[in-house]
Amino acid sequence: MTSDDVELAFDAKAELGEGPVWDPDAACLYFVDIERNRVHRFHSETHVSRTYDAGSMVSAVALAAAGDLVMAVRNGFARLDLDTGRVRMIAEVEADHPDRRMNDGKCDAAGRFWAGTMALDHRRGAGALYRLDPGGRVHTMLRDVSISNGLDWTGDGRRMYYIDTPTKSIDVFDFDPASGAISNRRSLVRVPADYGSPDGMTLDADGGIWVAFWGGSAVRRYTPDGTLDREIRVPVTHPTSCAFGGRDLRDLYITTAATALGPEERARQQHAGGVFRCRPGVQGRPANRFGG
């Protein structure tokens, strides 16, 4: 698909838009602006939007069974009350390292929220991947991570895909749905240098792996065996992540960023930081909720 097949759904003007997740009950899309400490809610049918102040950098959100949101904020995990806007910390992570922050995250089918960290200066190996259980306990799942990014699980819950962006690889783990343990890490896709950097991801109902490519102006779909299946061109340089939504879960929403653009490129890419949408011909899956 070319950029002509992609429409601007919401001109959010985010500095670093990320982490889209679709709420089927409210027919709205949640996503974050990391650098402006914002959580956005956009209703696709009414085009009404609301912005919440997370109080610090916020890099990912997930729907919660209790009706609120769980968030990855700069120094740990928190909850956001959607009625009052109140933020409540659940657990601190790396709070003694002010040079680091949380990054991308997502819930598995058992309602556990996974999110990783990265150094603000992007130095190698400073981050980790964490798992927040519904009871509030935090587990360290991976160490020596550079920029923890996209992750998702297969429909049978037996594999977890994961991206540590500077590795230029889309990796896969064996996953134990009952315990949440991961093992046997291996590379599924080695990303060519001219594709840009792999960032956020989502899986569709057929098991296709959709990955946003920072610096690559594209979202690409890979089959479960790692074969490149299709490409969607995006009219801005830095797509960051993607998620399926809409009443039929056939709309692909793509978040983007403006933060890395110079003045001339910002003037040329006036909708960088917006949320784009297309219909690529496949159906997504409902997002997992924190707490089950």
For the record, the structure tokens of 236 come out as: 């801005």
Q: How far is CA 249 from CA 23, 32, 278, in A?
A: 10, 20, 11
pTM of the full structure: 0.97
Asked whether residue 52 is assigned to any structural domain, the reply reads no
* pLDDT at res. 95: 86
What is the pLDDT tens value at each position of the chain, 292 positions in all?
776 699 999 999 999 999 999 999 999 999 999 999 999 999 988 999 999 999 999 999 999 999 999 999 999 999 999 999 999 999 999 988 999 999 999 999 999 999 999 999 999 999 999 999 999 999 999 999 999 999 999 999 999 999 999 999 999 999 999 999 999 999 999 999 999 999 999 999 999 999 999 999 999 999 999 999 999 999 999 999 999 999 999 999 999 999 999 999 999 999 999 999 999 999 999 999 999 7
* pLDDT at res. 4: 67
Asked whether residue 242 is assigned to any structural domain, the reply reads yes
Of 59, 58, 2, 48, which is closest to residue 26 (Cα–Cα)?
Answer: 48
Asked whether residue 271 is assigned to any structural domain, the reply reads yes
Q: 225 near 189, Cβ under 8 Å? A: no
Structural domains in the chain (count): 1
Q: From CA 200, how far away is CA 184, in angstroms rounded?
A: 22
Residue with tokens 């009404």: 48
Which domain, by its residues, includes 233?
3-29+101-278
Asked whether residue 74 is assigned to any structural domain, the reply reads no
Q: 192 near 175, Cβ under 8 Å? A: no
Asked whether residue 126 is assigned to any structural domain, the reply reads yes
Asked whether residue 291 is assigned to any structural domain, the reply reads no
Question: 108: domain CATH number?
Answer: 2.120.10.30
Q: How far is CA 290 from CA 80, 152, 246, in A?
A: 12, 14, 21
Asked whether residue 263 is assigned to any structural domain, the reply reads yes
Asked whether residue 93 is assigned to any structural domain, the reply reads no
